[in-house]
Structure 1
């Protein structure tokens, strides 16, 4: 028997390769994502529920205004007579409550956050008091305020101290004001127009607080009969003044006008029914920008012509009740051919 057949005959098979059992380390190295625990599997976040947009500041302002207007309508049956002006966004920027304002309904104005121009003139007999000013003390965005014909006092003006953005302040016919409360206006450095006409108890104390108003262009003091020549000295530095009314200030005379001689930017000056004489008009000679001059009811006579005829820009001269003769008028007309001479009116036209 051949030796080559021996393994077969003996039943011996060729050895098969063996595979080692996997170790713990190798198992870890070949792990599959399928074998990973649920905690290790990333999951997609659930979509957030849509949230409503928060109201904008403008939307909140408009909502508050709507509430305030609704309340105001309840306070006066003639609400429709009030004048409103809105900006492009629909917010109220001007409100004129002339003749219908009261201490009670002014409280609602605090909700007008963008209001710039406010007129709160009460109708007789319900005149506004200091309480009304208290309600508007926080309206620092105001640029124009009219509280004429009210019973506010000097003490009440303290509520206006924070309104430093005012350009226009109108206090006509506020009979209880003497002017001591004007100290509260010193922060109003932007003030351009101050109208205090017919404040019959206003004194020189008011004028003493005006020199800091370097931007003041319009000053109305007509009918303030307590003012004197001494008080006008406080106005000497207001070199930007363009309009000054002193009509019916009967205690103002030539010395007072002399204090104003340096106000060369003046365009209108009303001295009607004052104590200014023809001799005092020499103080006008440098006021060459004058367009309107009121001398109605004054002591003007022909001697004053020489002080006026060099005012070549003059367009209107009121001389009603003066002592000018026809010859004096003729001389002025020759010197000022572009000027209108009015002997019917007492004062210059009121721009407002």
Structure 2
């Protein structure tokens, strides 16, 4: 379903339906985080009616950072000032192994160096010198080894520790955190050296409330070491394909658990049976697990569930019968399940539902009548379903809707006309829908739109005239409309809030780029398969669009 304009299978989408870009590893140097920060002089503007005058503290800290070569030690300063100077160094990407020495024994509380380049064991001596003051440490993506981690063992007040994507932390290193009993949050995301035996060190972390082991591939059998962590409220074992039904038995006693994420695990209905005792659960992610209608029977007792993700499982309408009593449910994901119109009748009592994901199901126009009473619904995904223009009329009473996805070839101008009562929409996805210039007249009803995608190929410059008045747009995707010309860029030049613009596969040329100069907030620009060169985009970037960090062609 979805036709030639479909992009679902080429996208990466998180389990709550939000589009994301995922890198293969923590980017040490490729992160746009550093591209969006600068260490420029603060703007001093104290004219009447302005509020941009910096405080005396800000001026002092800026002056210290500006003359940093004059200072070799900050330990004589109050801790909060040292912390602000340190944070400034990190945010501006100016911290080096040499300048780090000035922060020895400063009693800093937070060391957040996630994704920061060149962090290794040589930095750990200074970090650990903060001693009992140290409360939060994030060294994700670093080259720190077991030896470096061992230096933190005396920083016994640490509450938050993150070593995501650290490939050199193993069992010997993990033993050093066993004494950090004040830890409330621990994260080793995508750390393939973390093993079941290494997890033995977690058993003494009695105050642990949040544990993240996403993409850890060697922890089968290790969950047994969590049995005594009675304060654990959140556990993330997504993409841990080593996890099986037997592992979940160890979780049955964690009655404080409120959030459990285990998508893409190798579990079945048998494993789900161990979850029925977790009555405090409010967030359960079972995306892409081996779940069937039989396993869904266990959900009926989880009365506190607010978020339930069952996307990409072998479930049918029979499963939804067991959800009727989950009246606190606010978000339900049934993406790519064998759900049909009749099954939606079981959702009519879920009056608190705000987000419903039905993408790639067998739901058609008849099933939408069962949604008419869900008046608090804010997000609805009907992409790649069997819903037609006539069925969309049944949504006209859902005036709380803010996000609506209608990426399907059978949706046309008539369907867009049927939803004009949904004036509160902020996100409208018509990616593959067959919308023409005439249909864009309906867009005048959606003054609050922040994101808009119309990529079915039916637009010309004439249709864009009805888009140029949507002043709140931050994302606009008009790709695959091959008849759009430079005139389109001229017409949208007034959409100064745009952060992302895609007009790929069109007749845009280098000459049209001049119209983008007013779009100072633009971070992402895609003009692939156009008569546009990377060199001309770079010129535009250097002269008029300094915030542009991603563009194609590049």
Give the alignment's TM-score, normalised by structure 2: 0.46
Q: Which of 189, 203, 211 is 1:186 aligned to? A: 203
Q: Which of 111, 114, 117 is 2:129 aligned to? A: 111
Matched with 2:95 is 79
Query: For structure 2, which runs of at least 5 residues remain unmatched after alignment?
Result: 1-74, 97-105, 361-554
Query: For structure 1, which runs of at least 5 residues remain unmatched after alignment?
Result: 1-58, 81-89, 346-352
Alignment of 1:198 with 2:204, yes or no, is no
SS of 1:285's partner is helix
User: How much has 1:121 moved relative to structure 2?
Assistant: 1.2
User: How much has 1:106 moved relative to structure 2?
Assistant: 2.1
Give the alignment's TM-score, normalised by structure 1: 0.71
- Structure 2 distance, partners of 1:187, 1:319, is 38
**Residues 1:343 and 1:103: Cα distance change in structure 2 (over 3 Å):** farther
8 Å Cα contact 1:61-1:111 kept in structure 2 = no
User: How much has 1:135 moved relative to structure 2?
Assistant: 1.9
8 Å Cα contact 1:94-1:115 kept in structure 2 = yes
Matched with 2:333 is 318
Q: Computing the radius of gyration over CA atoms, which structure comes out larger, 1 or 2? A: 1
Matched with 1:11 is none
- Structure 1 distance, partners of 2:255, 2:165, is 29
- Structure 2 distance, partners of 1:79, 1:344, is 46
Alignment of 1:284 with 2:303, yes or no, is no
Deviation digits for residues 159-194 of structure 1 (CA, Å, limit 9, x no counterpart): 112111101111111011122111112221111111
SS of 1:226's partner is coil
Q: Which of 322, 326, 331 is 1:307 aligned to? A: 322
Matched with 1:177 is 194
Q: Which of 327, 341, 348 is 1:334 aligned to? A: 348
- Structure 1 distance, partners of 2:312, 2:253, is 28
8 Å Cα contact 1:154-1:179 kept in structure 2 = no
SS of 2:302's partner is coil
8 Å Cα contact 1:207-1:235 kept in structure 2 = yes
Matched with 2:227 is 211
Deviation digits for residues 102-141 of structure 1 (CA, Å, limit 9, x no counterpart): 2221221112131101111125xxx332122112121111
| Count of aligned pairs | 268
RMSD over aligned CA atoms reads: 2.6
Matched with 2:465 is none
Matched with 2:276 is 261
8 Å Cα contact 2:111-2:127 kept in structure 1 = no
Matched with 1:155 is 172
SS of 2:109's partner is strand
SS of 2:198's partner is helix
8 Å Cα contact 1:272-1:295 kept in structure 2 = yes
User: How much has 1:344 moved relative to structure 2?
Assistant: 4.8
